[in-house]
């Protein structure tokens, strides 16, 4: 069953073609990796999926678990089970990390017909998940991402993922800026979420991440279009030979 279906997605920014007909089908239980040169449109794809203003499709279609996202505002996409971890997580001064998490998690739980957490139950749950990610309680008392180190921001993203239990997660360069231990912790956190009823898409430049989070499929995005798809061996090929050969062949 396809949880995320992107059909011939085209998108322009400032009158420049950025996505030029991206098609991708991600089934329940699968992990896909998207790789590709800088500027090929990977983050644009994730912004478009999130429903960010200014990233509306020019043509094409996106379906989350069979439901069209085109007309759905960003917050509703999140409630419906789409989770985006951005390459550059946004700082939210004045918004406490704990209350931000609680708001997001309860709104998702309400949507799927589960009872909302009360304050105590939530704090207990958050602390449990945070300790798995080696996120200190002290961090959850601070404003979202404000003054978090690069690695702390990435851990906080995966903590959100663990608590929201999304159907589809898109992780944009979640490995960037992580030290070797943090890379392992974050990868373990992502792997713990793998299940037969969700799907994960990781965007990365490095094969190294895919040693930890072993994907079922790897796609190469170049100039706003997927030029090649394959298994994990495709990432090894990129590591060894770069993109030029693939791009020329396409």
Ligand X SMILES: Nc1ncnc2c1ncn2[C@@H]1O[C@H](COP(=O)(O)OP(=O)(O)OP(=O)(O)O)[C@@H](O)[C@H]1O
Positions touching ligand X (CB under 6 A) are 13-14, 16, 18, 36, 38-44, 87
Q: How far is the CB of 124 from ligand X (least distance, A)?
A: 37
At residue 241, the 3 state secondary structure works out as: helix
Report the partner that residue 177 touches, choosing among ligand X, Mg ion, none (CB closer than 5 to 8 A by kind).
none
Report the partner that residue 44 touches, choosing among Mg ion, ligand X, none (CB closer than 5 to 8 A by kind).
ligand X
Q: How far is the CB of 172 from Mg ion (least distance, A)?
A: 6
How far is 47 from 162, CA to CA, in rounded Å? 21
Closest to Mg ion by CB, 108 vs 219, is 219
Q: For residue 110, what are its two tokens?
A: 């309400």
The one segment of 8-16, 85-93, 112-120, 241-249 that binds Mg ion by CB under 5 A = 85-93
- Signed CA dihedral, 193, 197, 203, 208: sign only: positive
CA 145, distance to chain mean position in Å, is 17
Closest to ligand X by CB, 86 vs 148, is 86
Report the partner that residue 209 touches, choosing among ligand X, Mg ion, none (CB closer than 5 to 8 A by kind).
none
Query: Does residue 43 belong to the site contacting Mg ion (CB under 5 A)?
Result: yes
Mind giving me the DSSP string for 82-115?
A: EEEE-SSPPPEEEEEHHHHHHHHHHHHHHHTTPP
How far is 189 from 185, CA to CA, in rounded Å? 6
At residue 26, the 3 state secondary structure works out as: strand
Sole residue written with tokens 């994907």: 215
Closest to Mg ion by CB, 90 vs 120, is 90
25 phi/psi in degrees, rounded to 5: -125, 120
Closest to ligand X by CB, 14 vs 53, is 14
Report the partner that residue 39 touches, choosing among ligand X, Mg ion, none (CB closer than 5 to 8 A by kind).
ligand X
Q: Are 171 and 200 in contact (CB under 8 A)?
A: yes
CA 26, distance to chain mean position in Å, is 13
Query: Does residue 87 belong to the site contacting Mg ion (CB under 5 A)?
Result: yes
Q: How far is the CB of 87 from ligand X (least distance, A)?
A: 6
Q: How far is the CB of 202 from ligand X (least distance, A)?
A: 13
Q: How far is the CB of 87 from Mg ion (least distance, A)?
A: 5
For the chain, state the CA radius of gyration: 18
Q: For residue 15, what are its two tokens?
A: 């009158």
Q: How far is the CB of 187 from ligand X (least distance, A)?
A: 20
Closest to ligand X by CB, 16 vs 240, is 16
Closest to ligand X by CB, 105 vs 221, is 221
Q: What residues line the site for Mg ion (CB under 5 A)?
A: 42-43, 87
């Amino acid at each position: 069953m396809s949880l995320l279906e992107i059909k011939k997605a085209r998108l322009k920014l400032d009158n420049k073609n950025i996505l030029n007909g991206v098609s991708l089908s991600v089934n329940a239980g699968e992990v896909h990796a998207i790789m590709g040169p800088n500027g090929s449109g990977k983050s644009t794809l994730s912004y478009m999926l999130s429903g960010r203003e200014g990233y509306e499709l020019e043509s094409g279609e996106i379906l989350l678990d069979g439901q069209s996202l085109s007309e759905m505002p960003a917050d509703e996409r999140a409630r419906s089970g789409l989770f985006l971890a951005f390459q550059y997580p946004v700082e939210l001064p004045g918004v406490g990390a704990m209350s931000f998490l609680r708001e997001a998690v309860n709104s998702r739980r309400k949507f799927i017909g589960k009872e909302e957490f009360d304050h105590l139950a939530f704090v207990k749950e958050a602390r449990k998940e945070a300790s798995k990610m080696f996120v200190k309680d002290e961090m959850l008392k601070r404003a979202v991402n404000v003054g978090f180190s690069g690695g702390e921001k990435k851990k906080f993203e995966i903590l959100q993922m663990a608590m929201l239990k999304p159907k589809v997660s898109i992780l944009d360069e979640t490995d960037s800026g992580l030290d070797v231990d943090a890379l392992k912790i974050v990868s373990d956190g992502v792997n713990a979420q793998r299940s037969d009823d969700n799907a994960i898409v990781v965007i990365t430049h490095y094969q190294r991440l895919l040693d930890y989070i072993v994907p079922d499929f790897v796609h190469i995005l170049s100039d706003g279009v997927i030029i090649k798809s394959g298994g994990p061996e495709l990432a090894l090929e990129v590591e060894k030979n770069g993109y030029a050969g693939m791009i020329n062949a396409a």
